[in-house]
Amino acid sequence: MTLGRKYQNCSGNAGDARKVYASQSKSGTLSGCSSSLSLCDMIEPPDYEEVCERLMGERDPLAYPSNDIELLTVPRRIRTVKHVLPDEDLTKAPMFVRDCIRCYTSDYTVVEYKYRMYSGSAGSRERVAERLERLMNAPPQYYEIDAEPYAPLDDLALQQCESQPSSGRQSVASIASSLSCNETLTPRGSWASLDLQSSSSDPLIPDLFEKKPPEQMDAVNEARRLENRQADLLGLYTPYLDEEEAVERRLAAEMPCEVMGHRVLVVCHQLKLELDVEPLFASMALFDAKEKKKLSENFYFNLNSEATRQMLSAHVPHADVSTLSRSAVFDIVNPSPDIFLVVRVEKVLQGDVNECVEPYIKDDKNREKVRLGAQAACNRLGRYRMPLCWSAVSLLNVLSGCNSLERDADRDGTAVTAPANTSTNINNNTNSLDRKASSSSLEQLRRRAGEVGGSLTRKGSIERRAMPVQQTDELIAQLDTFKPIVITVTSFFKQETDKLRDEDLYKFLAEIKRPSSAPKKLKCIPGTLKIEVSPCPDEIKNGLTPELAKLNPYGDDNVRPCKEILAFPLQAAAVPHQQYRNLLYVCVRDLNLAAYTSRTGSARNITVRIQLMSGEDQASALPAIFGRSSCPEFSTEAYTTVLYHNKNPSLYDEIKLKLPADLGDHHHLLFTFLHVSCQRKPVPPDQEKSVETPVGYSWLPLCRNGKLTCGEFNLPVMQEEPPPNYSYIFPDVLLPGTRWIDNHKPIFNIYLDAHTTVHPLDGYIERFAMACEAVQEGNIPPRIGLANMEAELRASISELPTANVEVLARYLPVVCDKLLQLLAAPPALPAHPQPLNIAQDVFTCLAHIFTEITVRSSCTYQSWRQL
């Protein structure tokens, strides 16, 4: 009998029961219990050592088994046929570069715990499947808020507005009140409904005031508790999933791997204009119209016929197989409905773009004359290009099966069809943004309320109905599951020479995304572009990485390869690098030679020749520039596009370079500005001068004090050849006795974008790497000196945790290896045989680094859970 039942059976009222309880509690005992229990005496806790000695004997319960830890060597798995390595001699490379390459190519040393299966974390993880099965077999829980679906807010608002006349402030307030009280909170008839008149009453409880024996009440309650009882209620409780309450975390670490986004395969089948008389050169890349950011490098492809390619045989000695690719894999790291696949088309330089485009727009009957002119241009100016036209395909419309430019197919000339081997019919011309027309009713209600001075108070629910997160989640789900789609573009936009920059492209893409007509003031060129878009399979045949390394497995070497296109994510993943990569993209933006004056000629048809130099003579130009399409794999020079009779062109060229591993102060970029003579003079061919005339020079050192140069630069242009030893200074230094265009003003704008896994591009990490190299290899820089070298090393170690956390996470294995090496075997300076006492600095640095990365990882995990 319980204590409460004892006092319930006492004679008298409730006051007598309280007196009995108070009298027994003062004495310190409760006689109603089975044994007399003192409420005042404290129980002494057991002695830990005594209990362990009595139960365990001489065995230490906290001691690890001697055979618990085992070191294993796990081979590193790579995606390529062999490791990606630089061509240069690594003995001349900086120590940090050698450490990175050693980290990316060495096998893993794994610490294996033999008795891991007895830990609480491992046991809980093994029971995950069992508990999930119990959860699925458990009866579902239904709540009355989910029993009756209610209409959306905008539909109800429209019905209310149509049914009630607009009679001023009072009508709008009644609309908002009825919506908020009757329709949007709870279903009609619910106990929580505020409309009491229409609510149904609860059923009566029979025998509520009847007096029953306690034994009968206990039996009834026990029977009711057994009704619909969960078979394993506590078995569904999974405290191990809560990271904050976890007692131990001894889970096995996952094997490191390269992080990839959503991979989309694009195969180019056809590209030709209605007037097919000359070779065309195309490139495609991903752009984000909302973020105004380029999301991938350029993929160059060439779909010209063999006869058309022969028109350039005098300028293209041979074409390597890697440049004959017609398929590419784009990696979409940040999916968004504002992503476009932009295709740009160029042709051989011939003259004014307006005159060259006229035969393509109009039905020119004299095609033979146009063909002869194109043949003459190819023979004389085959190495120079000029912009011709462009087009764009919306990624969102590709996934939804709509037309690419969100216009009617008869106007934009774009059709979307399923491949022949699929049975899905997605050839429709429905605009994907037409679904948003339903929001017009809500906007109508807002305008009506604003006219009479009222407002709607449920703005939060309105905003949630069009959450971008939900749209992004749907887009992510479609990226991996959509069926292959063949897109046919039947017209291109003429490229305007004064709107070549990416900023102008973003404006056009914003106009294209609107459910309206095409961008105004743009002429269309009839042509055909047919591409197939599909999810990328797990295994690619004859695949090449952005470094042109062969993916495993690789088939026949004579088959056209499929290229992986390097992604330019909005925010790179903070995970360690897995392979060697050392690429540099040179983006030429603006050039202004309006102030150029010379007796030899003018500077109107301007192209920029770009070279990666290891010295100052032409023989030092490195074959490190990637070829584009149907050309050699690497070359020593690259040319930008030419705008006819334009002294201050704005360009969109992107030059891809392979940086040497032994990058030093002597490596630099050399820019030569050339005037190209488009019109041939009436002289014999042997007396004709060169088609290009140098008009200026500029340069940019790529490495200073072991740091890679990158970012945006505005450079002046020298009118004559640079003097000796020019490569060791920046061109913004006014050298005596030199002539500069426009009085040494910065008239050349470029941007260097480095994608490398051996150059951290963080000042703190670079300082630490240089200090370690100076101490361990004895190459102490003169600017630091031997006396200050120890202080420099300590300062670099102490400031290392203040580096960018994301960059530090990408180079974490290399940095930790170096810190542990300094901790286990501290170096010694040449003049001091004793090792440096830096153990405390190194240990403190390791603790701070792991703290920063753990905090960042926890914040990222919490943000992911909230999403």
pLDDT 10s digits, 97-116: 999 999 999 999 988 888 87
Quote the CA–CA distance of 807 and 765 in Å, as a whole number. 9
Nearest Cα to 266, choosing from 412, 404, 406, 386?
404
Using DSSP bridges, classify how beta strands 485-494 and 108-113 pair: parallel, antiparallel or unpaired. unpaired
Q: Is the pLDDT of residue 424 over 70?
A: no
SS3 category, 5: helix
Write out the two tokens for 816.
Answer: 């930790």
Write out the two tokens for 706.
Answer: 């072991």
**What's the maximum distance between 2 C-alpha atoms anywhere in the chain?**
134
Nearest Cα to 697, choosing from 668, 659, 677?
668
What phi and psi, each to the nearest 5 degrees, are found at residue 436? -80, -5
Quote the CA–CA distance of 350 and 691 in Å, as a whole number. 13
Q: Given this model, what pLDDT does residue 640 score?
A: 96
Residue 630's pLDDT band (cuts 50, 70, 90): very high
DSSP states of 226-290: TTT--TTTGGG--GGG-STT-S---PPPPPP-----EEEEEEEEEEEESS--S--EEEEEEEETT
CB 271 within 8 A of CB 347: no
CB 556 within 8 A of CB 727: no
Q: Is the pLDDT of residue 130 over 80?
A: no
Least confident of 172-186, 337-351, 363-377, 685-699: 172-186
Task: List all residues 6 or more positions away from 198 whose beta carbon is below 8 Å from its beta carbon.
Answer: 188, 189
Stated pTM of the model? 0.76
Instruction: Provide the sign of the torsion angle of the four alpha carbons 104, 570, 586, 289, taken in this order.
Output: positive
Q: Helix, strand, coil shares of the chain as percentages rounded to 5?
A: 35, 20, 45
Residue 96's pLDDT band (cuts 50, 70, 90): very high
pLDDT, average across residues 650-662 = 95
pLDDT, average across residues 278-283 = 95
Is the N-terminal amide bond of 335 cis, ω within 30° of 0?
no
Identify the residue with better confidence: 199 or 37.
Answer: 199
Quote the CA–CA distance of 510 and 118 in Å, as a whole number. 59
Residue 227's pLDDT band (cuts 50, 70, 90): confident
Quote the CA–CA distance of 762 and 802 in Å, as a whole number. 10
CB 567 within 8 A of CB 331: yes
Quote the CA–CA distance of 814 and 97 in Å, as a whole number. 10
Q: Given this model, what pLDDT does residue 47 score?
A: 87
Identify the residue with better confidence: 686 or 223.
Answer: 223
> What single-letter DSSP state applies at residue 515?
S
Residue with tokens 């984000």: 288
Using DSSP bridges, classify how beta strands 562-565 and 327-332 pair: parallel, antiparallel or unpaired. parallel
CB 84 within 8 A of CB 582: no
Quote the CA–CA distance of 384 and 337 in Å, as a whole number. 36
Write out the two tokens for 134.
Answer: 């119990």
CB 359 within 8 A of CB 495: no
Q: Is the pLDDT of residue 219 over 70?
A: yes
pLDDT 10s digits, 444-494: 333 433 333 333 333 333 333 333 556 667 777 788 888 899 999 999 999
> What single-letter DSSP state applies at residue 291?
T
What phi and psi, each to the nearest 5 degrees, are found at residue 430? -75, 135
Identify the residue with better confidence: 224 or 324.
Answer: 324
Q: For the chain, list the domains and their CATH numbers.
A: 262-426+483-565 (2.60.40.150), 583-756 (2.60.40.150), 763-866 (no CATH)
Q: Is the pLDDT of residue 439 over 60?
A: no
Residue 10's pLDDT band (cuts 50, 70, 90): very low
Render the burial of 57-88: b for 16+ CB within 10 Å, e for the rest.
eeeeeeeeeeeeeeeeeeeeebbbeeebebee
Nearest Cα to 731, choosing from 717, 752, 751?
717
Q: Work out the number of other CB atoms within 10 angstroms of the CB of residue 605.
A: 26
Q: Given this model, what pLDDT does residue 354 score?
A: 87
Q: What angle do CA 267, 273, 278 make, to 5 degrees?
A: 100
pLDDT 10s digits, 362-401: 876 778 888 999 999 999 999 999 999 999 999 887 887 6
What phi and psi, each to the nearest 5 degrees, are found at residue 166? -80, 100
pLDDT 10s digits, 244-280: 555 666 667 788 888 888 999 999 999 999 888 999 9
pLDDT 10s digits, 320-353: 999 999 999 999 988 888 999 999 999 999 988 8
Q: Work out the number of other CB atoms within 10 angstroms of the CB of residue 787.
A: 10
Range picked from 144-153, 323-332, 521-530, 551-560 for highest mean pLDDT: 323-332
pLDDT, average across residues 819-837 = 89
Q: Given this model, what pLDDT does residue 866 score?
A: 47
pLDDT > 90: percent of the chain: 45
Q: Given this model, what pLDDT does residue 319 score?
A: 92
